[in-house]
Structure 1
Amino acid sequence: MKTYDYIILGAGAAGLMLAYRMANDMFFSDKSVLIIDKFSNKGNDRTWCFWEESTGEWDKLVSKTWSHIYFGGEQFSKTIPISSYQYKMIRSEAFYTSLWKTINEKPNFTFVEDGVKYFTELENKVEVITEKGNYLGLKLFNSLPNTKAYSQQEKYPLIHQHFVGWVVEVYEELFDDTTATFMDFSVAQKGNTRFMYVLPIDKKTALFEYTLFSKTLLEQSEYEDAIKDYLKKKKITEYKVLETEKGNIPMTSFKFSDLNSKHVLNIGTSGGWTKASTGYTFTNTSKKTNKLISFLKAENDLSKFHIKSKFWFYDLIFLDVLANHNDEGATMFTSMFKKANFKTIFRFLDEESTLLEDLKIIVSVPPKRFIQAFFKRLFFIR
C-alpha cells in the first residue's frame, strides 16, 4: 500500500486552503498529498464573511464588499462607517473552483471521492479507513467533525451559533447595498441571544439570516417564521426566495489541541480554528494555514503546533457568561459597540489587539458577570 507524505481529510475551507498553500510552495513539490472527501464539487454550500483593512490575499474571490456596518440594539443603534476596513463576502463555489484549479495542476496531489469511516495512528504513520479502501500517510490533517469530543464534556461550555438564511429578491430597489447589518437585536430574544444578520448583495437582493447564540436548536419553522416577521416589520411583503442556507457552528473553548498527536493535527472547526466567541472562521483559517506551512518546514511533531494565547482565556470567560446568562447577550454586545471603537473591536476579535486595546474592550462590557466568571475560572470553581 502506498504511503503518502500527507493526507488531508475534508476539502472544505481548511483542508482545501492547506492543500492550496502546499501546492504554491516549492518545499512540497516532491511530497505526495492525498485529499479525501465525499464530494469534489460542493457548490455554494457556504458564505464566508470577514473584515479586512485595504486589499487582501483573497480579494479576487470576493463577490461583495460593504463600507458600513449597522448595529441595532435596544439602547444603542448606529450605522458605522468602517473607513479603512471593508466587510467582505466570498461565496464558496468561487473559492472551491479557484483553489482546485491550482491544486489539480500539481501531479503530486491526488483526490479520492470517498467517505471516511475512521483513522487510527500507528507507530510512525496513520491509517485511514474509508468506505472504499484504506490509505496510509506519514502525517494526517483532519477537518472532519468530532462533535463528541467537545459535546460530551462539562469543563468548557458549548454554545451553538445556529442560523437559517434566505437570499431574498424584491421587485424594487429597497436595499442599501453599502451597509451590512452586523447584528440587529430588535427581534424578540425569548431568553436567548438572537439577532438578524443582513447582507444586501445589491439594491434588490439580500441575505437575511436569523441567528442565535444558545445551547439548544430550534425547529426549522421557528427560524423561517422569524425571517418572515422581520421582513414584514421592514415592510417587505412581496419577495422571492432565491436560495436558503442553514448552519450550526460550535462556540467553545474546549482544548482541541489535546486531540492532536505527533502524526495527527485537527484543523478548521475540528481543530478549534473557529473563533470561539464569535463563530468566525475564515480569517483564522487563513492565518493558521499560513503558520502551518512554515511549521511543517521546520518541525516533525504536529502536537507542537499550538500556542496558547490570552485570547483563549478571554473567549472562555465570555462563553461562561453567555452560557449561564444567555438572555443577556444583546446587552453585552450593545454595550461593547456603544462604548468601544469599531477598529478596537475588530482588532480584538482578530486577536491582534494590544493589552491597552484589550482593556478598552473589557471596560466596555457590563462588569458584574465577567468578574464573577473570571474568579470562578481563576479558582477552578464551577
Structure 2
Amino acid sequence: MHSAPADVDLALLGGGGAASLVLAALDRHGVRGLRVTVIDPVHRRGQDRTWAFWDRPDGDLDPLLSASWRQVEVVTPAARRVLDLAPLRYAMLRSAAVYERAATAEHRLGVTRVVAPVQTVHDDGEQVLVRTADDGPAVRARWVLDSRPRPPARPGRTTWLQHFRGWWLAAQHPVFDPDRAVLMDFRTRQPARGVSFGYLLPVSDRYALVEYTEFSPTQLTGAGYDAALDGYRDLLGLDPGRLTVREVENGVIPMTDAPFDARPSPRVVRLGTAGGATRPSTGFTFAAMRRQAEQVARALAEGRPPVPRPAYPRRHRWMDAVALRALDRGSVGGAEFFARLFDRNPAERVLRFLDGTTTPAEEIALMASTRLLPMISATAGDSTHRLRDRLRPPRPGPPVPPPVTESVRRPEP
C-alpha cells in the first residue's frame, strides 16, 4: 500500500550541482511561498568535485571561489602563449562551498528533503507523480526539475569522452605561481585517436591542482592516468620528492552530438548534462548549468513556468558536431585546432564561444581561423550523415556514460 503523496509546487530530482545552483538562485531571487522538495539518495556535502569556468568578476559566486586568474597559459610543443582574459577571469569553485550555500537556501526556503532514489516519474500533463524506491514516500508536484544522469534521446554520430585524473599537490615551500594558471598544455603524450593536455590551477604558491585530461573514445586504466600525471608533473619541472598528493580527482564527461531531451514531458524539465548543459566539443558544463538555474529562478519569481532556454544555440551544436567529426576522423589535430583558435582570436571571444554566448559574426571569424579544407570535409560528412539519419533510423551506437566526478582525500602522512 502506498501512502498518500505529499503535494508540492516544485520537486528537484537529484541534489548535485544543478539542483544546488537552483536552490541558491531561488533564495537570491527572493522566491518565497513555494513548496519545494529535493529527492536524492545522497545528502550532498564536502568536496566531491571541482568546477572551473570563466566569467566576469564581482558576481554572486565570488565569495565561494577557491581561486581565480586573469592570465592563463596555452602551451604547445612549439610555443607558450600567455593570454590576458580581461574583462573575464578563469575561476575555480569547489563543491563544498556550493553545497553549503544550497543548504542555507534550503533552510531559508523551507525545503523538504527525501533521501531516497526515485523509482518512477509519471506526468499526466497537469501534475507529476514521483514515487521513490522500496515503497518510500511519494511526491505529487506541479513541476519537476530532473538533474539525474540520463542517456541521450538517440545515438550520436560521434561519441567521445572527456576523462581525467587530477592530483591536489601540497608543497612545504613556495613552488607555484598563484597569479597564473595553465589552461591547456599539449606537450603531453598524444593518444593514437584523440587529444590530451595537462593543466595547472594554483590556489596558492604551495597548493595546486595538476590534472591530465583526454578527449578520446575510451578511458585509460588507473595506472595509465597515474603514468600520464607523472609525465606531466615532470614536464612542469616539479620535484615529486617535495610534493604530497592530498586529494585525487577522477572524472568522465560525455562529449557527443547526440541530442539530450530537455523536456521529456509537459511538466518535467531536465537540467545539467541530462538537459544539454555539457558542451559537446569541450565537456564544459558549469556555465550553462548556472544559466539554467538563473532562468528557472527568474521564471518562478515572475510566476512563469520554470523552463530554461536551450543551453546552447542550435548553430553551436552544429559547429560542435562538425568539430567532433573532424577530430574523430583525424583530419584536424586537437592541439593544432585549439592553438589556432587562441592564436587568431581574442581570448575573450574564444572563451565566450565555448560558453555559447558569441554572435554569428564572431562565430564566422572563429570558423575562419581553423583549417578550412578539413572543416569543409567534416561539414559535408556531417550533412550526409544527417540526411542518412532522416531516411532511416540510426542503429544503436556505443552507450554514452553518465558524467561521473569524484574527489578522494588522501590521509595525512
The residue type paired with residue 112 of structure 2 is T
* Residue in 1 that maps onto 2:225: 223
How far apart are residue 219 of structure 1 and its match?
A: 0.7
Matching of residue 328 in structure 1 with residue 333 in structure 2: yes
Secondary structure of the residue aligned to 1:257 is coil
Match of 1:205 among 185, 191, 207: 207
* Residue in 1 that maps onto 2:87: 84
* Residue in 2 that maps onto 1:269: 273
For 1:125-136, list aligned pairs within 5 A.
Answer: 125-131=127-133, 132-136=136-140
Secondary structure of the residue aligned to 1:256 is coil
Is the CA contact (8 Å cut-off) linking 2:296 and 2:306 kept in structure 1? no
Matching of residue 122 in structure 1 with residue 124 in structure 2: yes
The residue type paired with residue 208 of structure 1 is V
Partner Cα separation in structure 2 for residue 320 and residue 259 of structure 1:
27
Partner Cα separation in structure 1 for residue 159 and residue 331 of structure 2:
12
* Residue in 1 that maps onto 2:410: none
* Residue in 1 that maps onto 2:399: none
Partner Cα separation in structure 2 for residue 176 and residue 64 of structure 1:
12
List per-residue Cα deviations over 1:228-282 (Å, max 9, x = no partner): 1222332422111001111111122322236522111110111111222222222
Deviates most, 192-201 or 370-379: 370-379
Structure 1: 4+ residue segments shifted above 6 A: none
Partner Cα separation in structure 2 for residue 246 and residue 259 of structure 1:
30
Secondary structure of the residue aligned to 1:164 is strand
Is the CA contact (8 Å cut-off) linking 1:292 and 1:305 kept in structure 2? no
The residue type paired with residue 240 of structure 1 is T
* Residue in 2 that maps onto 1:375: 380
**Change over 3 Å in CA distance of 1:324–1:126 after alignment to 2:** farther
For 1:176-191, list aligned pairs within 5 A.
Answer: 176-191=177-192
Deviates most, 77-86 or 242-251: 77-86
How far apart are residue 349 of structure 1 and its match?
A: 1.5
How far apart are residue 11 of structure 1 and its match?
A: 1.3
The residue type paired with residue 183 of structure 2 is F
* Residue in 1 that maps onto 2:358: 353
* Residue in 1 that maps onto 2:409: none
Partner Cα separation in structure 2 for residue 301 and residue 70 of structure 1:
39
Partner Cα separation in structure 2 for residue 236 and residue 381 of structure 1:
54
How far apart are residue 47 of structure 1 and its match?
A: 0.8
Is the CA contact (8 Å cut-off) linking 2:84 and 2:347 kept in structure 1? no
For 1:61-76, list aligned pairs within 5 A.
Answer: 61-76=64-79
Partner Cα separation in structure 1 for residue 279 and residue 379 of structure 2:
19
List per-residue Cα deviations over 1:332-368 (Å, max 9, x = no partner): 1122122222111112122222223212211111222
Deviates most, 134-143 or 219-228: 134-143
Secondary structure of the residue aligned to 1:283 is helix
Partner Cα separation in structure 2 for residue 21 and residue 81 of structure 1:
30
TM-score, normalised to structure 1's length?
0.91
| Structure 1: runs of 5+ lacking an equivalent | none
Secondary structure of the residue aligned to 1:98 is helix
Secondary structure of the residue aligned to 1:144 is coil
Aligned residues between the structures: 376
Deviates most, 333-342 or 180-189: 333-342
Is the CA contact (8 Å cut-off) linking 1:169 and 1:205 kept in structure 2? yes
Percent of pairs identical after alignment? 27
Secondary structure of the residue aligned to 1:35 is strand
**Change over 3 Å in CA distance of 1:31–1:258 after alignment to 2:** closer
**Change over 3 Å in CA distance of 1:318–1:355 after alignment to 2:** same
List per-residue Cα deviations over 1:21-52 (Å, max 9, x = no partner): 223444x4222111012222331111111112
Partner Cα separation in structure 2 for residue 255 and residue 12 of structure 1:
22
* Residue in 1 that maps onto 2:370: 365
| Structure 2: runs of 5+ lacking an equivalent | 389-413
Partner Cα separation in structure 2 for residue 267 and residue 92 of structure 1:
17
Is the CA contact (8 Å cut-off) linking 2:292 and 2:309 kept in structure 1? no
* Residue in 1 that maps onto 2:249: 245
TM-score, normalised to structure 2's length?
0.85
Matching of residue 340 in structure 1 with residue 342 in structure 2: no
Secondary structure of the residue aligned to 1:169 is strand
Partner Cα separation in structure 2 for residue 18 and residue 127 of structure 1:
21
Partner Cα separation in structure 1 for residue 238 and residue 170 of structure 2:
14
Partner Cα separation in structure 2 for residue 116 and residue 197 of structure 1:
37
How far apart are residue 13 of structure 1 and its match?
A: 1.4
Is the CA contact (8 Å cut-off) linking 2:295 and 2:306 kept in structure 1? no
Partner Cα separation in structure 1 for residue 107 and residue 123 of structure 2:
28
Is the CA contact (8 Å cut-off) linking 1:166 and 1:209 kept in structure 2? yes
* Residue in 1 that maps onto 2:167: 166
Deviates most, 325-334 or 362-371: 325-334
For 1:296-335, list aligned pairs within 5 A.
Answer: 296=300, 297=302, 299-300=304-305, 305-306=309-310, 308-325=313-330, 328-335=333-340
Partner Cα separation in structure 1 for residue 262 and residue 17 of structure 2:
22
Cα-Cα RMSD:
2.2
Partner Cα separation in structure 1 for residue 79 and residue 370 of structure 2:
13
* Residue in 1 that maps onto 2:261: 257
The residue type paired with residue 124 of structure 1 is E
**Change over 3 Å in CA distance of 1:83–1:23 after alignment to 2:** closer
Match of 1:15 among 16, 19, 22: 19
Match of 1:113 among 115, 121, 134: 115
